[in-house]
Structure 1
């Protein structure tokens, strides 16, 4: 089923409805062509044969389920304390009034962070096991992300094939890791079911998002034509989202994809785990000169990741945050 979107249409061009599936075992040339096409046309693709060990994925899901199965009073001990977004949250998304049918745990993805370490002592009865599961998972998805970004740079014929990946590999990277838990809802009428939102429409501000979820449906992406497509995911798949920062770095060639999660109507809870690959706070983000062809305009201003992050999180979830940094004709 394809649902109409409330989002403005990006283009009048009509695409065949389908989700790009990228097989990471393909040869590099074919792989880069297919990833580039997916990033241009959808800002999204599913990744198979990615080589991430199943035991690392399973262990991470196991410790996550262990946390979310705790009594509410125990989970609230890990509650986030504004202005820091890190820690446990329930229903409330951000600080601007957005809500959803979920609870979550947001962690920094930098092992050097003191907050990263201290959180484990609160969320788990076995903090070392939890910490090892998180660190192992972040390590493999970070390397996966860097590899995909290097393949992209190679396919785009950029002189520096590490131009994207070095932002993620920076020891001061602001990347983070989020685990969403969508409990099953029991609603009486179909009309109510359609209206319930698990996580509202938005794009991710970072460079890339790597998502893994169990086999409970709910994720939808918005096409360039403004249609919502449900994404069916096998537990072994990863989903890859283009974020706002990568749209800017490629001067709009890649589009950050708008997506949402519908409320979970099954009896089985939905667990999704997202690695948000971000640069360091003081890193400058701007269109790479090689991405601006002769005769084309530069579409975005230069800004630091810290500036963009502050702007992004000061707005409501569904606001078009990237528009704040678009160039006015002749001024960039």
Structure 2
């Protein structure tokens, strides 16, 4: 049994409310056992995906010790000297440069496939360990990935139930696939102070704050994100207005990805987001990006195609879409290239 927070979800058409919304005014879904019916939780999740493409999950059931150990090994790595971190190339270490097309930001990160074999193989092939205890690192990361993948599947199944999809595992089975192309990323945003000219405007703060990572949507199905207590994340569900997201280390934040927007025929919004490095303290975030296998065929679900809402996107494989994403800049529109 699940329960949703009574926090209201604002209508996207209400631009003025959207512009003034911050932190806890964003959708919150409470997954603890309670008297509220599962179907009501599913309804509120779908509502959040339609209006924001984003929501916060509390009482998610992931044990605190799994979260704490993940944060510990993350900080241990990023506290290493730069020369040591640069040896972690099999794990996709990057600093400031994002991708292959000139994007940059005030960020360093560690990126690798979200499956146990890939992590083990990368550690075996790398003579310089990313942790003083490679076995511990592997165990901590695998436990964390398993936990957040299960959370992602639970949420995806609730979505499918509310959408009246015939097979309620339609979404979740894509990321449960043994050949899933899901990835896992540790992000570290070093402290960068804002200019004193910062006027605290929601939509104009980049005038005086450096960008940790610029405006983009996630190309996968769903993102499960957690950060420490440092702010910086902002979302833009509508009309270019940027809404700061209040940090909550006890919660997880859920982003709808491009593939989920396609599969729901545009009913769900793949939310634009960014991170500003606007604090004197380091921001650390851990992100799980749930994706299908490379050869998986992505199509709009027939239940969401009607005479009044024809199919918006042509079928494609995840490999085809991923190749397109890598060929573009971070904030470039890519779903438009796959419209019918």
Q: Quote the residue 2:225 is aligned against.
A: 211
2:194/2:208 contact within 8 Å kept: no
Q: Which structure 1 residue ranges, 5 or more long, are not aligned?
A: 1-10, 81-85, 328-332
Q: Could you tell me how far 1:189 is from its partner in structure 2?
A: 3.7
1:144 counterpart residue number: 151
- How well do the aligned residues superpose, as a CA RMSD in angstroms? 1.8
Aligned length: 311
TM-aligned CA deviation for residue 265 of structure 1? 2.1
* 2:334 aligned residue: 321
What CA distance in whole angstroms lies between the structure 1 residues aligned with 2:325 and 2:84? 31
Partner residue, 1:282: 295
Q: Distance in 1 between matches of 2:195 and 2:255?
A: 34
Does the CA-based 8 Å contact 2:160-2:168 persist in structure 1?
yes
Structure 2 residue 47 is the aligned partner of structure 1 residue 46 = no
Q: After the TM superposition, which parts of structure 1 deviate over 6 Å for at least 4 consecutive aligned residues?
A: none
Moved more, 254-263 or 292-301: 292-301
| More off after superposition, 211-220 vs 290-299 | 290-299
> What does the per-residue CA deviation read over 1:253-311, in whole Å, with 9 as the maximum and x for residues that have no partner?
00100000001322x21100000000000000010111112332110010000000000
Q: Corresponding residue for 1:19? A: 26
In the alignment, what sits opposite 1:8? none
User: What's 2:94 paired with?
Assistant: 89
Scaled by the length of structure 1, the TM-score of the pair is: 0.89
Matched, 1:170 2:177: yes
What are the Cα deviations for residues 101-142 of structure 1, in whole angstroms up to 9, with x where unaligned? 010000110112264544776311111111111000000000
- Residues 237 and 172 of structure 1, relative CA distance in 2, 3 Å threshold: same
Cα distance, 1:14 vs structure 2: 3.0
Is 1:74 paired with 2:80? no
The alignment status of 1:180 with 2:180, answered yes or no, reads: no
Query: Partners in 2 of 1:193 and 1:68 — Cα distance?
Result: 28
Q: Is structure 2 residue 23 aligned with structure 1 residue 32? A: no
The worse-fitting range, judged by mean Cα deviation, of 218-227 and 276-285 is 218-227
* Native 8 Å contact 1:205 1:312 kept in 2: yes
In structure 2, which of residues 248, 252, 276 is the aligned counterpart of residue 234 of structure 1? 248
- Structure 2, unmatched stretches of 5+, are 1-11, 19-24, 199-205
1:311 counterpart (313, 319, 324): 324
8 Å Cα contact 1:264-1:270 kept in structure 2: no
Aligned residues of 1:60 and 1:133 also touching (Cα < 8 A) = yes
User: In the alignment, does 2:103 pair up with 1:103?
Assistant: no
Instruction: Say whether the 8 Å CA contact 2:225–2:288 is kept in structure 1.
Output: yes
Aligned to 2:168: 161
Whether 2:139 is the aligned partner of 1:125: answer no
CA contact (8 A) 2:123 2:129 kept: no
